[in-house]
Amino acid sequence: MADQEEWTVRVDSEACLMSGLCMSLAPDVFAVRDYRSVALTDRSAPDDRLLEAAEFCPAEAIGIHRLPGGEPVLGIG
């Protein structure tokens, strides 16, 4: 069986502007804690909703990185 690609998901909660975009796109991945967005999981299978959230986050607060190397797929560094 071929290895399944895996991503890490990270939110810079300090930078979050609470637009709500990420939560509306992927409510199973992003949620509100203390008036800021957080990632409910730090790992995900490749998911276009996460790319959309990272691309359109007005605070550029979402980072998606590819495992195992950790190179950015999109978003924060």
Which residues lie near ligand SF4 (CB under 6 A)?
A: 11, 16-22, 30, 37, 53, 57-59, 61-62
- Between 15 and 66, whose beta carbon lies closer to ligand SF4? 15
| CB-CB neighbours of 45 under 10 Å | 9
Closest separation between CB of residue 30 and ligand SF4, Å?
Answer: 6
State the minimum distance, in angstroms, from the CB of residue 43 to ligand SF4.
Answer: 18
Q: How far is the CB of 3 from ligand SF4 (least distance, A)?
A: 29
